[in-house]
Amino acid sequence: MKFPKVHSLEEIANLLNCEFIGDKNFEVFGMNEIHVVEPGDIVFVDHPKYYDKALQSAATIVLINKKVDCPEGKALLISDDPFRDFNTLTRHFKPFQATNVSISISLTVGEGTVIQPNCFIGNNVTIGKNCIIHSNVSIYDHTVIGDNVIIHAGTILGADAFYYKKRPDGFDQLLSGGRVVIEDNVGIGALCTIDKGVTGDTTIGAGTKLDNQVHVGHDTVIGKKCLIASQTGIAGCVIIEDEVTIWGQVGTTSGITIGAKAVIMGQTGVTKSVEGGKSYFGTPIEESREKLKQLANIKKIPEILNKLK
């Protein structure tokens, strides 16, 4: 997430009321999670296990809960609670904007697009040409939709990321300031839910088709011309490359990659990254031919036991 203008390190430190290490005029362009950071970004870290990863990442400003040696060419923001202060930045630079109308006047919509009754469309949404948005679709702020997109009834684009920190008195949510981006020629079935990124984009690539009741988690990137069948749940920060087929009731863990042209058979649990161009099945996931051989061998166990008697 990039800020509307460049800020100095001192300005950000004053906003957070925290100490800083580095040149007070060090330029700050935005903020992002660790997997999408770029030079000029702030990244936060609040556990020693991940200090090195954050300090060595592409981010040049690290919001951290301990004074450590500052890597050359970078700056530190010292906070007693980086999670809280990352939320402070999101509230400041991407505040929630209430609306009292069903379709915001800031909507940009292309020629030939049809929006059916009872839809909600939030602030600063862009919808391309020749789209059909069926009834009772909710499209949250800052969503971008390309041309020739069909979205069926009851689908929600842009809900918050499922991202929480456990506190003594409950769970503290990491606020979402990212977007959902739907590219051209995408089809989205009824009652799908696509969460926006925490700071970046959740993206559905051109030509991809989602069946009914598919969930896509925050910051996930789905490639071009994928097919994803009903009741599939895709966790946050997943990369699904081009032309992947995922059949019904598949679930994934977060932060994995599914390679191009892979086929994931129904009811598979994708517990790790998998190569493209192969078929997979089972939980934990394995190549489908191997898994089916294992299941066939299991059926032979009673016969083998009887022979051993």
What would the pLDDT profile of 64-83 be if each residue is shown by its tens digit? 999 999 999 999 999 999 99
Query: What distance in Å separates the CA atoms of residue 153 and residue 89, rounded to the nearest whole number?
Result: 34
In 3D, which of 198, 193, 142 has the Cα closest to residue 175? 198
pLDDT of residue 180: 98
Query: What distance in Å separates the CA atoms of residue 287 and residue 276, rounded to the nearest whole number?
Result: 11
Would you place residue 298 in the very low, low, confident or very high pLDDT band (cuts 50, 70, 90)? confident
Query: What distance in Å separates the CA atoms of residue 260 and residue 279, rounded to the nearest whole number?
Result: 11
pLDDT of residue 131: 98
In angstroms, the Cα distances linking 140 to 88, 122, 137, 309 are: 21, 5, 10, 66
pLDDT of residue 308: 82
* Mean pLDDT (the chain, rounded): 96
pLDDT above 80: residue 306: yes
pLDDT of residue 73: 95
Average pLDDT over residues 299-309: 82
Q: At what angle do helices 82-93 and 9-16 cross, to 10 degrees?
A: 110
CA 179 from centroid of its chain's CA atoms? 9
- Which one from 134, 142, 215, 218 is the annotated catalytic residue? 218
Would you place residue 279 in the very low, low, confident or very high pLDDT band (cuts 50, 70, 90)? very high
Would you place residue 18 in the very low, low, confident or very high pLDDT band (cuts 50, 70, 90)? very high
218 is catalytic: yes
